[in-house]
Amino acid sequence: MSFTVPTEPTRELEAVPNPHPGREYVVRCQTPEFTCVCPRTGQPDFATVAIEYVPGPSIVELKSLKLYLWSYRQEGAFHEDVTNRILDDLVAAISPRRMTVRTEWLVRGGITTTVEASHP
């Protein structure tokens, strides 16, 4: 069996049809491996990203979500901005009924940060 291993991150989120569009249910995705770069110092920032949503017509394909989150690795971004951008991009891609994105950032300079953004 042959398969292609992705070598590049991408900002393309793939939507797939919701297999149960008539039912309201909750999807939770979480990764403790999110990284980006501090826009002031260039040092890496590490976070756990938790996404919770009630699907509308589509759900997010998980491999595309993984590659999307990977795309932030070398980008300078403030915690508040990146959390809201992830929410905005997911809402645009899958049109959920409701969604919350929560990021919990590791200690930097003695301060931990948690950011939560919701739709609608």
Residues 6+ apart with CB under 8 A from 17: 57, 58, 59
Decide if 38 is catalytic: yes
Catalytic residue (choose from 29, 45, 81, 88): 45
- Which stretch of DSSP H or E encloses residue 62? helix 62-70
Decide if 45 is catalytic: yes
Nearest to 47 by CA among 59, 66, 32, 58: 32
Dist CA 91 CA 25 (whole Å):
16
Dist CA 90 CA 93 (whole Å):
5
Catalytic residue (choose from 36, 38, 88, 89): 38
* HEC string for 15-33: EEECCCCCCCCCEEEEEEE
| Residues labelled as active-site residues | 38, 45
